[in-house]
Amino acid sequence: QSSEIIKEYKEAHPDKIVSLTKPNSGLGGTRNYGLKFAKGEYIGFVDSDDWVDRKMFEAMYGMAKQGHDIVLCDFMVVQDGWETGHVAKGFRGTHFNPQEVVINSIDPATACNKLYHRKFFQIAEFTDGWYEDIGTTPILLSYAHSVGYLELALYNYRQRSGSITYSADERTKDVISSWQRVLDNVHNNFRKEAIFAVYKSIATFIEFKPAFADDFLEYAHQNQELFQQNDYYQKGTRSKSIVDLFQMGLIPKKLHYFWFGHGEKSELIKRCMASWKKYAGTYEIIEWNESNCDINESQFVKEAYEAKKWAFVADYFRIKVIYEQGGFYMDTDVELKAPLDSLRTSNFFFAFETRDNINAAIFGGIPRFELAKKWLKTYQEETFKKEDGTYNMSNNIVIRLTGLLRKDYKIKLNGQMQTLRDNVKIYPANKLTIDVYDGKNLAVHHFDASWWDVKD
């Protein structure tokens, strides 16, 4: 369809339109191919899904002729199927100056909201992998004598669900070579600004593309000395305006569950476990039971096991395993609806079950985290069987956890998203407990309560 549209325009405007075909090439290679045929003094790019305001290039060229090597503008982000969207700033710094232009050159790095003097493509062409803009735009901007900014949304960027933006393709890791290209080729006058731009981009990609967070964090550590000696990094981490990647831990890709008592798994449980393999297939899924848990290591656990209160046995061990190994804990009646990778960047996470109750059916954290240590200690100081022969079931795992979160982390029991101290995150119920069909759900807790005895 695109080729037919191009053909129509070429026939209607033979003096303005040149139709070229370059098979088997990525976007960067295609742009480089087109540059060989371009005759203009200034060069602009429009991706095939997008469209521009009629006055875009006229307005940007007018600003360029005022003495600017490169001109950028704002753009409109439009969801696929819509004709209007929201304005995204082409420059996202606080003061428009050469230093901040380079610092913010990767956010956004797109070439499509810019008009370049053609001489800059003698300095650097586009790479042929994914994220070709990230590996090129900062370099070109660092060599510009003057950059102009037109605060008008003249470019319309169409956001599709199947685009690179939303993809979990292995080629996402091409961004690492783009970062390195910037570090290797940026103008020396703006090297420290480019280093900080790359650092910020790594932090963004860890959140934006969490499936590859391990690779991105490894790259950051490979360049740790370079980043930590950077003035902008030092100022940002001191003021806590940026995340310190070298203090960040990623929750291990382990999924722990418990099955005591040797019983048969229900169809619901089998369905839930199948969802784990679907959405956490790259995780190590570990079953814990009598064979790999020492029932006698705690009086509470020993008595709960003897009473066949399997859930209370699991309460102790779920905390212990996450404390010792890190990873994700899930009740067997938790069904995954999407990948868990986006949760890995917190040191510990929970979700609300209701407005004022925390859900202990799914949680996770990094190993040896202080919260888990204190939580576990509450079991080590108690017995399960009371003196009168009844069971200590009222002081359950949720009550113990809530007490800790209120005392040590100042949680607000309001059902809302919260980031507490030490990067402990509390998600609303729609994220990890119930699906309200808002597109944000990762897991559903079915509240099977197979552990519950009506006599209790």
* pLDDT tens per residue, range 180-189: 999 999 999 9
Question: Which pLDDT score is estimated for 453?
Answer: 46
* pLDDT tens per residue, range 96-108: 999 999 999 999 9
Segment 206-227 shows an average pLDDT of 96
Q: Are residues 77 and 21 in the same domain?
A: no
Give the SS3 label for residue 286: strand
Q: Are residues 17 and 28 in the same domain?
A: yes
Instruction: Indicate the pLDDT class of residue 23, thresholds 50, 70 and 90.
Output: confident
Q: Are residues 294 and 322 in the same domain?
A: yes
* pLDDT tens per residue, range 347-376: 999 999 999 999 999 999 999 999 999 999
Q: Are residues 286 and 412 in the same domain?
A: yes
| Residue numbers of the domain that contains 360 | 254-445
Q: Are residues 427 and 280 in the same domain?
A: yes
Could you give the CA distance from residue 445 to residue 443 in angstroms, rounded to a whole number?
Answer: 7
- Give a yes or no: residue 268 inside a domain: yes
- Give a yes or no: residue 454 inside a domain: no
pTM: 0.86
Q: Are residues 295 and 406 in the same domain?
A: yes
Last residue of a domain, one of 204, 221, 246: 246
Least confident range from 54-68, 157-171, 272-286, 410-424: namely: 157-171
Q: Is 389 exposed, middle or buried (0-12, 13-18, 19+ CB in 10 A)?
A: exposed
Segment 85-92 shows an average pLDDT of 94
- Give a yes or no: residue 365 inside a domain: yes
- Give a yes or no: residue 265 inside a domain: yes
Alpha-carbon distance values, 7 to 47, 192, 254 (Å): 17, 46, 53
Q: Are residues 20 and 79 in the same domain?
A: no
* Structure-token pair, residue 448: 């099977």
- Give a yes or no: residue 456 inside a domain: no
Segment 174-202 shows an average pLDDT of 98
- Give a yes or no: residue 160 inside a domain: yes
Q: Are residues 134 and 241 in the same domain?
A: yes
Q: Are 249 and 280 in contact (CB under 8 A)?
A: no
Q: Are residues 218 and 280 in the same domain?
A: no
* pLDDT tens per residue, range 25-35: 789 999 999 99
Q: Are 371 and 409 in contact (CB under 8 A)?
A: yes
Question: Which pLDDT score is estimated for 162?
Answer: 54
Q: Are residues 190 and 303 in the same domain?
A: no
Last residue of a domain, one of 191, 226, 246: 246
Strands (E), 296-405: 327-330, 334-336, 348-352, 358-365
Q: Is 434 exposed, middle or buried (0-12, 13-18, 19+ CB in 10 A)?
A: buried
* Structure-token pair, residue 70: 């490169």
Q: Are residues 20 and 58 in the same domain?
A: no
Number of domains in the chain: 3
Q: Are residues 231 and 118 in the same domain?
A: yes
* pLDDT tens per residue, range 315-343: 999 999 999 999 999 999 999 999 999 99
- Give a yes or no: residue 359 inside a domain: yes
| pLDDT at 303 > cutoff 80 | yes
